């Protein structure tokens, strides 16, 4: 899942494989506009900011992408070009021997000046995976009218937390996901999520239980009506709503009792 830890792992892979390489040939598709040219440019570095990926070039341009649920950056053999069966390739960069880096089914893909990356990521709150991550993010606690699960998913409050880490973090913290943020110990929840995400980043996995066997990696996520791994009560579920942060939610009604 393309959450903050997944994007950081992707950035690390791309930095080790294609950063510092010259672009031999490239194509960037942009509707009816004149496509920007990257032939002869050099990829300096790849950075992750929350769930966003920034590829910075020596020309002073950055390629900004957001994978959401379906996008992917893939490295193909040198000389590869997308054919008719290619999965909606929005851009590709041929680096020669390392291979061709291609954006497949990328929902957000744009070029902007590196000096103006704020146009793409300036609205984000503090990144939960940065080295200077604070012990608390007051911005989340300052929205008492919001439910805690919505406040955590709003990237303007904290960047990098997705639905998986929100659901699992609230379970481990024993917090009802529908509780108002004002009634929750937000620093505690954020500390739980930050520690889980850093552990997952270190081990390259999104397992929250510590068990890597299939079907055993999560406490409540995706486990509607199955017994809670702690108390055996059936896991409850709320379907996604119309709001941008109203995602599918799983929780244990015994381990995460509702208010009132």
Is 29 or 214 the better-scoring residue by pLDDT? 214
Tell me whether strands 89-94 and 100-104 are parallel, antiparallel or unpaired.
antiparallel
- Identify the CATH number of the domain in which residue 183 sits: 1.10.8.50
Neighbours of 98 (CB within 10 A): 15
CA nearest neighbour of 163 among 237, 249, 229, 235: 249
Average pLDDT over residues 159-180: 96
Residue 110 and residue 218 in one domain: no
Domain boundary among 121, 156, 182: 121
- CATH assignment of the domain containing 85: 3.20.190.10
In total, how many domains does the chain have? 2
Of residues 260 and 229, the one with the higher pLDDT is 229
9 and 110, same domain (yes or no): yes
**Is 91 domain-assigned?**
yes
Classify residue 257: in a domain, yes or no: no
Q: Is residue 128 part of a domain?
A: no
* 103 and 167 housed in the same domain: no
Q: Confidence band (pLDDT; 50, 70, 90) for 203? A: confident
**Contact 112/119 with Cβ under 8 angstroms?**
yes
Q: Where are the alpha helices (DSSP H) in 94-185?
A: 118-121, 138-141, 148-153, 163-173
Residue 126 lies in a domain: no
Residues 9 and 42 reside in one and the same domain: yes
- Between 191 and 31, the higher pLDDT residue: 191
Where does the pLDDT of residue 139 fall: very low under 50, low under 70, confident under 90, or very high at 90 and above? low
**Each residue's pLDDT tens digit, 34-55:** 678 999 999 999 999 999 999 9
Confidence (pLDDT) at 33: 63
Average confidence (pLDDT) over 233-240 = 96
Q: What is the DSSP string of 50-74?
A: TTEEEEEETTSEEEEEE-TTT-EEE
Whether 145 and 224 share a structural domain: yes
- What is the C-alpha to C-alpha distance for residues 10 and 110, in angstroms, rounded to an integer? 18
Residue among 57, 54, 40 nearest 11 (CA): 54
pTM of the model: 0.91
Which residues are paired to 89 by β-bridges?
104
pLDDT at 34: 64
Q: Are residues 224 and 184 part of one domain?
A: yes
Instruction: Read off the pLDDT of residues 52-87 as tens digits, 9 standing for 90 and up.
Output: 999 999 999 999 999 998 999 999 999 999 987 666
* More confident site: 83 or 144: 83
Domain range enclosing 11: 4-121
Per DSSP bridges, beta strands 25-28 and 89-94 are: antiparallel
Query: Residue 182: which pLDDT band, with cuts at 50, 70 and 90?
Result: confident
């Amino acid at each position: 899942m393309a959450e903050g830890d997944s994007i950081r792992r992707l950035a690390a892979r791309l930095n080790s494989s294609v950063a510092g390489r010259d672009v031999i040939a490239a194509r960037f598709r942009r509707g009816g506009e004149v496509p920007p040219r990257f032939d002869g440019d050099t990829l300096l570095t790849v950075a992750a900011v929350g769930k966003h990926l920034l590829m910075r070039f020596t020309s002073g341009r950055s390629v900004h992408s957001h994978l959401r649920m379906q996008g992917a950056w893939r490295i193909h053999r040198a000389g590869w070009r997308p054919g008719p069966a290619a999965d909606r390739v929005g851009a590709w960069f041929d680096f020669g021997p390392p291979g061709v880096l291609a954006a497949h089914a990328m929902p957000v893909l744009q070029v902007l000046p590196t000096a103006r990356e704020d146009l793409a990521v300036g609205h984000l709150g503090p990144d939960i995976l940065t080295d200077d991550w604070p012990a608390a993010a007051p911005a989340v606690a300052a929205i008492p009218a919001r439910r805690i699960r919505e406040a955590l998913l709003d990237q303007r409050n904290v960047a990098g937390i997705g639905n998986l880490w929100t659901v699992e973090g609230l379970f481990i913290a024993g917090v009802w996901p529908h509780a108002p943020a004002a009634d929750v110990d937000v620093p505690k929840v954020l500390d739980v999520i930050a520690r889980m995400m850093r552990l997952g980043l270190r081990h390259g996995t999104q397992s929250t239980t510590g068990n890597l066997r299939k079907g055993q990696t999560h406490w409540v996520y995706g486990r509607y009506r199955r017994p809670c791994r702690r108390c055996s009560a059936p896991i409850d579920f709320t379907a996604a709503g119309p709001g941008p942060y109203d995602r599918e939610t799983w929780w244990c009604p015994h381990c995460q009792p509702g208010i009132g």
